[in-house]
Amino acid sequence: MVKAILFDLDNTLMDFLRMKHDCISAAVFAMIGAGLPVSADKAKKVLYKIYDKHGMEYKHVFEDFLKVINKKIDYRILAAGIIAYRKAQISLIEPYPNVIPTLIKLRERGYKLAIVSDAPRLKAWIRLVELKLDHFFDLVVAFGDVKERKPSRIPFEKALKELKLKPEEVMMVGDQPAKDVGGARKLGMQTCFALYGYEQYNKTKKLNVKADHIINDISELTKILK
């Protein structure tokens, strides 16, 4: 019997990639407007190359970008990009449709809810607070809490220990087949694959994932858990 549900955060509770793309666009156009001599297409290609190398949470991305494009950091241009990015982020961050109603129903049914995310601890909490979702969760396990990323067993074991539950009493919901589903399956948890957040499927329409459940909308969880 499932007593708790673990959720990935990005692309499971919110459309992180869409937000990231739009924030990057806002930053690029702001830096060009501040005098950076580069086309928007080239700027985005360089930025994504840096993100591919260091990860999507890399905090020095704009400094590295300016060193590539401008051979130096122009702090006026850097400030323009950072401010535009932050303003776009605040305006764009929101949960997927049906996330809040679903979490309310799950809480009303008595399920414990937790986050297991690879995001840095502070960024995970900032996103949860900005999304107005922080009060739904009994526990948040982020990268900074365990220094290991999924599919490592350690983040999942941390959640089980804190929740005081056995693996078979917990379901993991996430958008990454290897990290979320594969990692949880190692411990014997039930798994639910959030197909709606899986960007690779949206591009290729190919799916190879072994999960107990596959959902196209988070609201389907309430039917599964009946």
137 and 68 in a single domain? The answer is no
192 and 138 in a single domain? The answer is yes
Reported confidence tier of residue 200, pLDDT bands at 50, 70, 90: low
Q: Give CA 193 to chain center in angstroms.
A: 14
198 and 124 in a single domain? The answer is yes
pLDDT tens figures, 144-179: 999 999 999 999 999 999 999 999 999 999 999 999
40 and 110 in a single domain? The answer is no
- Tokens at residue 192, please? 């639910």
192 and 202 in a single domain? The answer is yes
Whether residue 186 contacts residue 151, with contact meaning beta carbons closer than 8 Å, is answered with: yes
pLDDT tens figures, 122-150: 999 999 999 999 999 999 999 999 999 99
Whether residue 146 contacts residue 178, with contact meaning beta carbons closer than 8 Å, is answered with: no
207 and 133 in a single domain? The answer is yes
Whether residue 13 contacts residue 96, with contact meaning beta carbons closer than 8 Å, is answered with: yes
- Tokens at residue 208, please? 């190879």
| Parent domain of 44 | 17-92
**CB proximity list for 52: less than 8 A, separation 6 or greater:** none
DSSP 8-state assignment for residue 96: P
CATH of the domain at 71: 1.10.150.520
- DSSP for 23-59? HHHHHHHHHHHTT--S-HHHHHHHHHHHHHHH-TT-T
DSSP-H helix ranges across 71-225:
75-92, 99-108, 121-130, 143-146, 153-163, 183-187, 199-204, 221-224
pTM of structure: 0.89
104 and 86 in a single domain? The answer is no
Residue 206: its pLDDT value, please?
Answer: 60
CATH of the domain at 116: 3.40.50.1000
Average pLDDT of the residues in 179-203? 88
pLDDT tens figures, 75-91: 999 999 999 999 999 99
